[in-house]
Amino acid sequence: MAVRIRPLSKKELASGIVSCCQTLGESNIAIRKNGDANNFLKSQMAMLNEYAFDAVFDEDSTQEEVYESTAKKFIPNVINGKNVTVFAYGATGAGKTHTMLGNSRADSSAAGSGLGIIPSAVKDMFSQIARKYANADENSNIQDKWTVTLSYIEVYNEQVYDLLGSTAGKVLPVREDQTRDIVVVAGMTEQVVTSYDEVMVFMAQGNRNRKTEATMANAVSSRSHAVLQLVVRHSMLRLDTNKETVIESKLSLIDLAGSERASATNNRGVRLQEGANINKSLLALANCINALAENAGSDKKSNVKFRDSKLTHLLKSSLEGNCNLIMIANINPSDTTYEDSNNTLKYANRAKNIKVNPVVQEVVKESTWVERELRLRQENAALRAKVCELTKLLTEAQTFRDNVLYKCANEATLEGKQRFSITSASVYSECNKLFFVLQISRTWLMSTTNLSN
Ligand SMILES: Nc1ncnc2c1ncn2[C@@H]1O[C@H](COP(=O)(O)OP(=O)(O)OP(=O)(O)O)[C@@H](O)[C@H]1O
Ligand SMILES: [Mg+2]
């Protein structure tokens, strides 16, 4: 559980707003309420509250510092079969999207600020998988394989929408899979991804489809909760016995929409309706956090109402305990938003008590020869398709080389008294990219008679 204070914007500073929050050391934060000298009610008096968390980050903290002290150390757990969920929580405009997406968000409000937690975690995850492959023992009897599948959805106005593929923008039903005791979103787009770059392409596509609007509280307010999920499937095939053990884990990276007070945001119409739904799901989340925190400290277990909102229903398995849960509470330090920031800190303080116990779930199965053959056939077909695609690319490139590049070489350009000509041109393809290698020679022409030749 960590807390991050965002810096006051130039506009806020210019309007005379001052900060009411301060970090104390590496894990404490103090928040001050300005009192009203003419009132005697306790709720109206000046107050100073102090809270302790695993980490606190002040206005000057960088994206790297936040990532390295929070999510980073849990990424190896995902590779080793444990579920990990990271989410940012807080009021509207407090810096959740900045913390989670950073400069990969759809708007340009975080340009130059470095990678947010989501891209940093994805980058780390793929480099750790690559390291596992690189360190694999060639003579081992066990063949390891990691497959990563991505999905990106949003919860908007209490409905779940796909952010990717042909189903982008469609409402998707949420169901409970009783046999595996998990909540699933039926029909969402799932993409096998093999690199950080590929994930970033899908994320950019999803972010463009995500609902964001300008509100009075935030010029780039997220109007939906976005859930990016990476399912890591680690298959270990024993070559002698043909037994396959599969471990599946999930990395869930969530950028929540922020709670908002209608009076403060001045929202009307559609924005007001969105705000009401955002508050409803965040209230349900706060209630679940309360119930889970209470349950953690007592023998009497009360019912946790995950079904009260789509958001909590989706987060059920993450919150219930079989998961490393990393929460980053974001706060706006402005003294005008004291109530929101203090509420965020109170919930974060309660959420600290949630107990988690992630376990690795192994499935051992003896793959039959038929299954093995089927898998090899599928791999073979995929590789053949890739070879076909690359051969086509290469043929096109060779035609381009012969028709365009050599033609250019024959019609060598004249620049002053120098002549440039292409002496050789070759083409090769690697990782679905085409590379042209041109060797260019430069000849100095000594007399104008030569020039005409
Ligand atoms: N740590 C930070 N450093 C610099 N700018 C920040 C920081 N945190 C937030 N901001 C800026 O503050 C504004 C609001 O931040 P952001 O959009 O991340 O808030 P949010 O919590 O996601 O709000 P909402 O719930 O409305 O989506 C943005 O312009 C963002 O770039
Ligand atoms: Mg946001």
Atom of ligand 1 nearest to the CA of 221: 26
What percentage of the chain carries pLDDT values higher than 90? 39
Angle between helices 117-134 and 196-209 (to 10 degrees): 150
**pLDDT score recorded for residue 449:** 44
Ramachandran quadrant class, 282 (left: phi over 0; alpha: psi -120 to 50; beta: rest):
alpha
Average pLDDT across the chain, whole number: 84
Average pLDDT (218-237) is 88
For residue 9, the ligand closest to its alpha carbon is 1
Q: Residue 308 has what DSSP assignment?
A: G
Cross-strand bridge partners of residue 152: 228
| Å from CA of 295 to ligand 1 middle | 33
Q: Which of 153-167, 228-242, 411-425 has the lowest mean pLDDT?
A: 411-425
What 3-state DSSP class applies to 424? strand
Asked if the model's pLDDT at residue 18 lies above 80, the reply is: yes
> What pLDDT does residue 189 have?
93
Q: How far apart are CA 358 and CA 83, in angstroms?
A: 7
What is the structure's pLDDT at 400? Answer: 79
- DSSP code of residue 303: P
The residue whose C-alpha atom lies closest to atom 28 belonging to ligand 1 is 109
Q: What residue type is assigned to position 14 of the chain? A: A
CA distance 283 to 213: 22
> What separation in angstroms does the CA of 143 have from each of 157, 194, 232, 356?
45, 18, 16, 32
- The percentage of the chain sitting over the pLDDT mark of 70, rounded to a whole number, equals 86
Pairing between strand 171-172 and 191-193? unpaired
Distance CA 268, CA 272 (A): 5
Highest mean pLDDT out of 99-108, 197-206, 213-222, 317-326:
197-206
Q: How far is the CA of 352 from the centre of ligand 2 (A)?
A: 23
- Phi/psi region, residue 49 (left: phi>0; alpha: psi -120 to 50; beta: rest), is beta
pLDDT exceeds 70 at position 208: yes
Residues 6+ apart with CB under 8 A from 67: 115, 116, 117, 120, 121
The tokens for 328 are 């980053």
Q: From the CB of 97, is ligand 1 less than 6 Å away?
A: yes
Output the six-digit token pair for 67.
């990532």
- Give the Å distance between the CA of 93 and the centre of ligand 2: 7
Ligand nearest to the CA of 267: 1
Least confident of 71-80, 248-257, 290-299: 290-299
Confidence grade of residue 255 (pLDDT, cut at 50, 70, 90)? very high
**Biggest alpha carbon–alpha carbon distance for the chain:** 102
Instruction: Lowest mean pLDDT of 89-103, 112-126, 191-205, 283-297, name the range.
Output: 283-297
pLDDT tens digit string along 318-372?
A: 777 678 889 999 999 999 999 999 999 998 898 877 766 666 766 666 566 666 6
Angle at 368 between CA 367 and CA 373, to 5 degrees: 95
- Give the nearest ligand 1 atom to 4 CA: 1
- Ligand 1 atom with the shortest distance to the CA of 110: 31
124: pLDDT strictly greater than 80? yes
Picking from 285, 234, 227, 286, the residue whose alpha carbon sits closest to that of residue 253 is 227
User: Which is more confident, 43 or 120?
Assistant: 120
More reliable by pLDDT, 135 or 272: 135
The verdict on the CB of residue 98 being under 6 Å from ligand 1 is yes
Q: What is the mean pLDDT of residues 268-290?
A: 79
DSSP annotation of 125 reads H
Instruction: Please give the pLDDT value at position 153.
Output: 94
Helix (H) or strand (E) holding 248: strand 243-255
Q: What digits encode the pLDDT tens for the residues 50-107?
A: 999 999 999 999 999 999 999 999 999 999 888 899 989 899 899 999 999 998 877 7
Q: Is the CB of 102 under 6 A from ligand 1?
A: no
Taking the centre of ligand 2 as the mean of its atom positions, its distance from the CA of residue 258, in whole angstroms, is: 7
User: By mean pLDDT, which of 7-11, 400-404, 441-445 is the weakest?
Assistant: 441-445
Residue 88 CA: nearest ligand 1 atom is 21
- Which of 286, 313, 315, 291 has the alpha carbon at shortest distance from 301? 291
pLDDT band at 34 (very low <50, low <70, confident <90, very high): confident
CB-ligand 1 contact for 94 (6 Å cutoff): yes
CATH class (in words) of the domain with range 373-448: mainly alpha
Quickly name the fold that domain 2-10+53-366 has: Kinesin (3.40.850)
Q: Which residue from 6, 13, 107 has its CB within 8 A of the most atoms of ligand 1, so it is best to mutate? A: 6
- Domain positions in the chain: 2-10+53-366, 373-448
Q: Whose CA is closest to atom 1 on ligand 1? A: 6
Check whether 375 has a pLDDT greater than 50.
Answer: yes
Q: Is the pLDDT assigned to residue 450 strictly greater than 50?
A: no
Ligand 1, atom nearest to 61 Cα: 1
Is any atom of ligand 1 closer than 6 Å to the C-beta of 95? yes
Of 99-113, 160-174, 264-278, 413-427, the poorest mean pLDDT is in 413-427
pLDDT at 445: 63
